[in-house]
Amino acid sequence: MDDDEPLPETSKLTRSKQRWAGEGKFLTGQPARAAGERLPPGQHLVRDWPVLDLGRQPDISASRWRLTIGGMVERPVELDLPGLMALRQVDIRFDIHCVTTWSRYDNAWQGVDTAALLDLVQPRDEARFLMLHGYDGYTTNVPLADFAVPQALFAHSWNGKPLTREHGGPVRLVIPHLYFWKSAKWINRIDFMGADKPGYWEENGYHRRGDPWAEERYS
């Protein structure tokens, strides 16, 4: 794109996107990661996929699922599953790292990247953090810059099959570069905020951010 010819209608949004991307890059600079390393410090590899939650697995049918996005955004939205499926679909593969020390390689997720949702809701300039809410009452906080990374997505499928209830179906958020507790299952509501606020595990001693390569486990 030619720098001298900004698109008038999108220039503000484009600038904001560049800002999010810039912050994301800054925050995810992977300081502790040596070249070629795949398993973060203190982690061990598993082949199965453990289920971790608060012990309540809400039974949300595809027709009942809704995602409400509000707070510091220009255009609050409520999405249903057909609405999510109508957005551009992506396929993203990454390794899961859980703070309880298991890691699982090569998970392929299908869904909608967070950039598409940011385009829809248009965060205000003051928005810096998000609170993610699950149908089970779970909450977790995440910086906007981490939410906005190109690899983060709202996943409805895993390895080509609809996401099962135990793993957060019909739709969960997945944020690949942070410990897995940030990846809210049964995602139901997102609030954009100006200041950071702890979610469920953060309130109970987990780190505010959770970068596995920096071992940001507890605070």
Q: Which residue, 21 or 52, is less far from ligand MTE as judged by CB?
A: 52
Of 39 and 85, CB closest to Mo ion: 39
Residue type, 100: T
- Cβ atoms of residues 125 and 158 within 8 Å: no
Nearest alpha carbon to residue 90 among 153, 180, 24, 146: 153
Task: Please report, as ranges, the residues that interact with ligand MTE according to CB under 6 A.
Answer: 49-54, 98, 134, 136, 138, 167-168, 180-181, 183-186
Q: Considering only 42-50, 90-98, 148-156, 169-177, which stretch makes contact with Mo ion by CB under 5 A?
A: 90-98
Q: Which does 50 bind (CB under 5 to 8 A by kind): Mo ion, ligand MTE, none?
A: ligand MTE
Beta carbon nearer to ligand MTE, 109 or 129: 109
Under the binding rule (CB under 5 A), the answer on residue 206 touching Mo ion is: no
As a whole number of angstroms, the distance between CA 67 and CA 85 comes to 13
Reduced to 3 states (helix: H, G, I; strand: E, B; else coil), residue 201 is helix
46 belongs to the binding site for Mo ion (CB under 5 A): no
Out of 181, 186, 192, 206, the residue judged to bind Mo ion by CB under 5 A: 181
> Of 50 and 194, which has the nearer Cβ to ligand MTE?
50
DSSP string, 185-212: SSEEEEEEESS----HHHHTTB-SS--G
Q: Is 87 in contact with 112 (CB distance < 8 Å)?
A: yes
Distance in angstroms (rounded) separating the CA atoms of residues 161 and 106: 15
Nearer to ligand MTE, 7 or 204 (CB): 204
Collapsing DSSP to helix, strand or coil, 2 comes out as coil
Structural contact between residues 182 and 174, judged by C-beta atoms closer than 8 angstroms: no
Q: How far is the CB of 187 from ligand MTE (least distance, A)?
A: 7
Nearest distance from C-beta of residue 63 to ligand MTE, angstroms = 20
Q: Which residue has the tokens 């209830």?
A: 165
Partner interacting with residue 184 (select from Mo ion, ligand MTE, none; CB below 5-8 Å by kind)? ligand MTE
